[in-house]
Amino acid sequence: MKLAILDRDGTLNALADPPITTPEQWQPLPGALQALARLTQAGWRVVLSTNQPLLARGRLTMPALVRIHVRMQRELAALGGRIDAFFLCPHDVADGCDCHKPAPGLMRQIEERYGVAGSELTVIGSCLAHLRAGAAVGAALHLVCTGEAQAVDARAPLASAWPPGTRAHASLAACVDALLRPAA
């Protein structure tokens, strides 16, 4: 099974200040949903893994988060794609849970749900925390240079802060192109 785990903010949609709390505020990055649709049409399963500390802080409700993700699913479905599951950490970073990325708890939940080892996972995101969580389970790591990583040059060597073996891509579309390219 080909399974990709994506981060949301900065990877599928632009980072927002203040953070997204309504479906109307959620706007996909140009080409992101089209890229996901191509990935799912090529037989990949896609899940989303996201930290949502606004839930713990009382600035976002679970029904509002569900409505945001329903909008995302509808727009993706209109393009022929889908997200199979949403895994989220509802805690604040200070709560000390094992699921707030960069802790690997969400990745472990995904391993368990899908019956796969971390080495079989492909982790795609634009932030260090998401990729470190993936590195903790031995996943293949793909950085998209959007969101928190928008200043990273995908053609240059990555700084040592990024986990070893991370492959950089200018966008989610470029990452999907690389994943779907036939092996030489």
Active-site residue set = 7, 9
Cβ-based burial of 86 (10 A; exposed 0-12, middle 13-18, buried ≥19): middle
Please tell me the number of Cα atoms within 13 Å of 39 on its side-chain side: 30
43: left (phi over 0), alpha (psi -120 to 50) or beta: left
- Sorted by sequence, the CB contacts under 8 Å of residue 41 that are 6+ apart come out as 80, 81
